[in-house]
Chain A
C-alpha cells in the first residue's frame, strides 16, 4: 500500500456523481448554501438543510448513497465520507443540546417528526434475525436514515474509525431521564441493524435490494 492513498470508494462515488448531470446539479445545489458564509454565521443552516433534503429526494440512491455509505479502508476515505453532508454547516453547532431536548424540537416539525418515526421503525435492531433488523429490509433503513439529513436531527459519522453515527447532541444534564436519553442516542451510535445496512451497501453484498 502506498503512503499517499491513490483512490477509494468515496472518491469514486464523488467522481461518478459529477459525471451524472442530476447528481452533479443537486450536489452543487447543496454545496453552495452549505459553504457560503453569511454576515454573522458560517452558513445559512436552513438553506443548507433544505438543499440536502432535495439532494437525497431527487438523486438516485446509486449516487447519493454511494457518497454517504461508501466503504472505507483509510482515513482519507472516511474523512471524505464524513464531509459528504458538509458537517461544519449542516451538523455542528456552537452548543451540543441534550438529545431529548433535540428530540422535542424535532417533534415540533412535521418533516422531522415523521422521518424520525420512520428511522425508529425501519432501523429497529433485532438480534435474532439474520439481517439484525426487525424489518429485515436494509433499503428501508438506509432510506429512513438518509431522510433525517436536512432536519434538526441530522446525523453524521462521529469518528473516522467506525460506522458509529449520531445526531449533534449528548446526554449531559439529563437528570432523571438519563436512561431514556442514552437509549435514544444508542439507537444511532450502537445500532447493528443500521451498521449492517451501511456495510451491505458499501460492500455491494445486498445487491437485490438496490
Chain B
C-alpha cells in the first residue's frame, strides 16, 4: 500500500532505462559488453508524511539551525539482478546493486 501512495503523490519519481556500454560506467573495466542501466529520477516534492510537513514548515519559519534539512529524495527501493561480463583479458566480473529495479521517495 505504501508504494501505491508514493506513486500517486510523487509521479515525478520514476524509473528510467538507458542502454550503455559497460565502459560508459567508468568503473575501470575494459570490455566491449553492454548493459541496460536503470535509474531513479524526478522530484519528491509532494509532502509524504506529517514529519515531512513539519520539517517544511519549520524550515520556512527558520526555526531550524540548519536550514538545509534533507527532503525526501528519489532513490532505488530495490535493485536489478546482478550483471556479469567478460573483459578483454578474458576475466569475468560481476556488478551487484548497480541498477535500479523500483523507485521511491
Verify if A80 is at the interface (C-beta below 8 Å from B).
yes
Instruction: Contact check, B33 vs A15: say whether CB atoms are below 8 A apart.
Output: yes
Q: Known contacts A24-B83, A32-B84; decide if A14 and B33 are in contact (CB<8 Å).
A: yes
Instruction: Contact check, B83 vs A18: say whether CB atoms are below 8 A apart.
Output: yes
CB under 8 Å from chain A, chain B span 14-57: 19, 32-36
Verify if B86 is at the interface (C-beta below 8 Å from A).
yes
Instruction: Contact check, A28 vs B32: say whether CB atoms are below 8 A apart.
Output: no
Q: Known contacts A19-B19, A79-B90, A80-B90; decide if A31 and B84 are in contact (CB<8 Å).
A: yes
Verify if A35 is at the interface (C-beta below 8 Å from B).
yes
Verify if B67 is at the interface (C-beta below 8 Å from A).
no
Q: Measured between alpha carbons, how far is A28 from B92 in the docked complex, in Å?
A: 10
Q: Measured between alpha carbons, how far is A152 from B77 in the docked complex, in Å?
A: 41
Verify if B79 is at the interface (C-beta below 8 Å from A).
no
Number of chain B interface residues as a range: 10 to 19
Q: Number of A residues whose C-beta is below 8 Å from B?
A: 21
Verify if B94 is at the interface (C-beta below 8 Å from A).
yes
Residues of A within 8 A of B85 (CB): 14, 18
Residues of B within 8 A of A27 (CB): 84
Instruction: Contact check, A14 vs B82: say whether CB atoms are below 8 A apart.
Output: no
Q: Measured between alpha carbons, how far is A83 from B33 in the docked complex, in Å?
A: 14
Residues of B within 8 A of A (CB): 19, 32-36, 81-86, 90, 92, 94
Contacts A18-B36, A18-B84, A35-B94 supplied; 14 other A-B pairs, CB < 8 Å: A6-B32, A14-B85, A15-B34, A18-B33, A18-B34, A18-B35, A18-B85, A28-B84, A31-B94, A32-B82, A32-B84, A35-B92, A80-B86, A83-B90
16 contacts between A and B (CB under 8 A): A6-B32, A11-B33, A14-B86, A15-B32, A15-B34, A18-B85, A21-B81, A24-B84, A28-B82, A28-B84, A31-B92, A31-B94, A32-B82, A79-B90, A83-B92, A86-B92
